């Protein structure tokens, strides 16, 4: 496994590995890799000859009051984790390598898709995401790119960008990976105190209760409002929780729905703060979870 820090080094290494005649998978990350990232790398290695992992804490997707400066970073740890999972290259550029002096070009998916859910409280976030992802696609030129379903809105937004701009990359969403106790894996979990961690388990419990309720036979088991109430009750019972949103929306458009129609699928999504730590989680209702 090779660590490279510049675009020139990346292209030289890909050439040396025979990229011209091989398929290439990209796993975009912000580093501090955990088992969730490793699952993406393994899936990429299953489906491609070569795998590049980008390890870059992107400044343009953080708001002024967010945790860019303290976001966890450990490139030695990341390289070890990436190599264990089968990566061929870790691309770890400096911000000045990505955003050249005088850079003023942004890529933005406009409309409600980026302004709801996480976009409602983080107005610049998805513009930063699509700008860096589009940039990485141009730099790496992968055949496939792998994203975790925990960031379900990000997957929808990136898919729309790829479609709208005719970018020749297949987006591969991958299942959420959880701690043994059910908490969705996240680099931000290290910020939680033991008490916050225990109360944060209410996210996965609430989503499970929604799945159980949806699978039941009550007259209102498909009602989005009732499903949201089930989730909210579980999370709000935790005194340290500060709910940002609980929503049940269309899986493809993220539009709000009144009920889950027969044969259809919906996304139940939550964002909750415990102290200064913001956690997100979701599940699919009406079909196999995380597909």
Binding-site residues from annotation for (R)-pantoate? 61, 154
What sign results for the dihedral spanned by CA atoms 119, 123, 129, 135? positive
Dist CA 195 CA 217 (whole Å): 36
Q: Is 138 one of the catalytic residues?
A: no
Which is the catalytic residue, given 37, 92, 138, 221?
Answer: 37
Contact between 136 and 111 under an 8 Å Cβ cutoff? The reply is no
Dist CA 243 CA 258 (whole Å): 21
- Binding site for beta-alanine: residue ranges? 61
Query: CA distances (Å), 180 to each of 82, 138, 184, 265, 280, in order?
Result: 21, 37, 9, 27, 17
Supply the residues annotated as catalytic: 37
């Amino acid at each position: 496994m090779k660590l490279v820090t510049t675009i020139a080094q990346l292209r030289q290494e890909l050439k040396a590995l025979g990229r011209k005649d091989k398929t290439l998978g990209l796993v975009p990350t912000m580093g501090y890799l955990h088992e969730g990232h490793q699952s993406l790398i393994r899936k990429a290695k299953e489906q491609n000859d070569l795998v590049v992992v980008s390890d870059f804490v992107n400044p343009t997707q953080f708001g002024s009051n967010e945790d860019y400066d303290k976001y966890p970073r450990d490139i030695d740890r990341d390289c070890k984790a990436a190599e264990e999972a089968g990566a061929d290259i870790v691309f770890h550029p400096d911000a000045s390598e990505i955003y050249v002096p005088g850079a003023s070009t942004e890529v933005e998916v406009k409309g409600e898709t980026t302004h709801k859910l996480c976009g409602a409280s983080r107005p610049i976030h998805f513009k930063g995401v699509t700008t860096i992802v589009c940039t990485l696609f141009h730099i790496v030129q992968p055949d496939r790119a792998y994203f975790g379903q925990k960031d379900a809105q990000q997957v929808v937004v990136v898919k729309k960008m790829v479609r709208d701009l005719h970018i020749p990359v297949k987006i591969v969403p991958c299942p959420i990976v959880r701690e043994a106790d059910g908490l969705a894996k996240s680099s931000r979990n290290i910020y939680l105190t033991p008490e916050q961690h225990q109360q944060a388990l209410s996210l996965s419990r609430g989503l499970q209760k929604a799945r159980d309720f949806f699978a039941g036979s009550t007259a209102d088991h498909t009602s989005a409002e009732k499903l949201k109430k089930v989730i909210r009750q579980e999370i709000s019972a935790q005194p340290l929780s500060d709910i940002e949103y609980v929503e049940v929306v269309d899986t493809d458009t993220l539009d709000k729905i009144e009920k889950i129609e027969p044969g259809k699928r919906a996304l139940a999504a939550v964002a909750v703060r415990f102290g200064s730590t913001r956690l997100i989680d979701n599940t699919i209702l009406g079909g196999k979870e995380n597909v």
